[in-house]
Structure 1
Amino acid sequence: MRRILGLRTFPVGVKIFTRKAEVAAVRAKGHRYCQALMRARYGEHILLGKEEIGCPVAAATFGFSPLPEAYKSGEYSLRIGIAKEKEIGARMYKKPVSFSPGEIEDVYLFPLEESIVEPDVVIVEDEVESIMWLLLACVNIAGGERIETSTAVTQAACLDCTAIPYKVHKINTSFGCYGCRIATDIGPNEALIGIPFAYFAGVADLIKFFSENAIPRCREKAAYKKLKEIFLKASLH
């Protein structure tokens, strides 16, 4: 799948542990969740628990600590300029799902190709066109039904692409958020998708199917090239 889509980094497996994880991984103290995701997509095995996580919003999402008052009141959103009113900023941080306090102990992120445990969620962060094919695979799995995604353009990695797929058992996408874009190397043309692992084998098979016809034809851009030729000929006359 990585070869077919031309992904620049690894798809990342995410495993939720209800007790301390005993895996060979780096406990990345002080890391935001999106930073742990970044390291995992470049090939590292990363663990985050209550003692390591360095982002108060992600910590609240995973039930490690309460959401700080500045976020709940909307003051933080107003201060950094992502909301024009405190009430709007406050609603941005209302989570549709979250983990209860003490529900989990560790979150383990790793390159999917090097799995030593079965992940709960797979996250792919890459160019939007690659995310499109993954989403189209999910549409096929859904029998052709439209896929609704949920985001407030906050908590892109922790909530949108981990907690929602895990808790609701649905695919979810995100174009990123203020936090991940100041804290990681996510590119301006990149987005994220979180896929429950139960769907992943089907997604991978569909990517192979798309590679037989749809992907190469789309990337060849024959219709666009023909249009350019028409305009070029018209301009010469």
Structure 2
Amino acid sequence: MNNEEIQRLGKELRDVLNISTSPVAVHLVKADEEIPEGIPHIGETTRHCQMVDNSRRLGTQFYSLLDDQMCKGGAAVMGLTEMSPKLKSGEVYYNLNHFASLEAAKSTMEKVPMVGANSIKAIVYSPLEKATFKPDVILVIAKPKQVMELSQALLQKNGGRVNAGFAGKQSVCADGVAYPYLTGEAGVTIGCSGSRKYTEIQDEEMIMSVPVDMLPALVESAKSMFGSYAC
């Protein structure tokens, strides 16, 4: 897919399902790759979930480095750095009273999808309909009915099921980016305490993430199933 096709598919996906904000294109720039030309540096320190939220609502395109990522846990699961021992062990969430024991917290953190530490040097974000690079993952923040329709469209051609494994932790980063990046599978997640506190993700919204290679078939099926000419 070239940039023009990606942009067209992004607009069609948003229009056919009447999604109120843009699907967000995310690209993990590997340590031995170049950052795509013409993409501005974010120029401020904020969280990955806020970057996704700003891109979908405000239409901004930018790249970020490790130092720009305020949430180092999110940065770690996406491969920008090592995860801190306290987070990896579950101690952080145990101390927040999210788990009854340190063992339960550790068991959960051991199952969090994580890209290899220090394998990624930058992350690029853009509204899908404006992307001037090939993303790895598309994140759609939408209402449950729209996520249902996305799921149905994903399965229309070949069937199967959509993964919905989550813990309400590391949601927009681990579930939303690391999982589809590592597995090549689409996923659904519900947000986490941080992403719902620091962004404008609404109570009635959830997150679906799709590897970019699934995008053409997804949009084609969505148009045939839910477009204005569909039965």
* 2:153 is aligned with 1:137: yes
Matches within 5 A, 1:46-195: 46-141=62-157, 143-195=158-210
Change (3 A) 1:129 1:40: same
CA-CA distance at 1:95 after TM superposition: 4.3
Q: Normalised by the size of structure 1, how large is the TM-score?
A: 0.83
Change (3 A) 1:36 1:209: same
Change (3 A) 1:167 1:23: farther
CA-CA distance at 1:109 after TM superposition: 0.8
CA distance in 2, matches of 1:60, 1:99: 8
Bigger Rg, structure 1 or 2: 1
CA-CA distance at 1:105 after TM superposition: 0.9
Select between 64-73 and 123-132 the one with higher mean Cα deviation. 64-73
CA-CA distance at 1:76 after TM superposition: 1.5
Change (3 A) 1:212 1:109: closer
**1:27–1:47 contact (8 Å) kept in structure 2:** yes
String of CA shifts for 1:25-84, please: whole Å, max 9, x gaps: 342532111011001102111322212111121121122222222222322212223222
Letter in 2 for 1:11: P
Aligned residues: 215
Letter in 2 for 1:47: Y
* 2:20 is aligned with 1:11: no
CA-CA distance at 1:20 after TM superposition: 4.8
CA-CA distance at 1:101 after TM superposition: 2.7
CA distance in 2, matches of 1:33, 1:83: 24
CA-CA distance at 1:24 after TM superposition: 2.3
Select between 189-198 and 50-59 the one with higher mean Cα deviation. 50-59
Identity of aligned residues (%): 24
Corresponding residue for 2:6? none
CA distance in 2, matches of 1:98, 1:85: 23
**1:28–1:47 contact (8 Å) kept in structure 2:** no
Change (3 A) 1:181 1:139: same
Change (3 A) 1:46 1:96: same
**2:20–2:142 contact (8 Å) kept in structure 1:** yes
CA-CA distance at 1:186 after TM superposition: 0.7
**1:39–1:46 contact (8 Å) kept in structure 2:** no
**1:20–1:105 contact (8 Å) kept in structure 2:** no
CA distance in 1, matches of 2:117, 2:195: 24
Corresponding residue for 1:198? 213
Corresponding residue for 2:45? 30
**1:123–1:192 contact (8 Å) kept in structure 2:** yes
CA distance in 1, matches of 2:220, 2:148: 15
**1:74–1:90 contact (8 Å) kept in structure 2:** yes
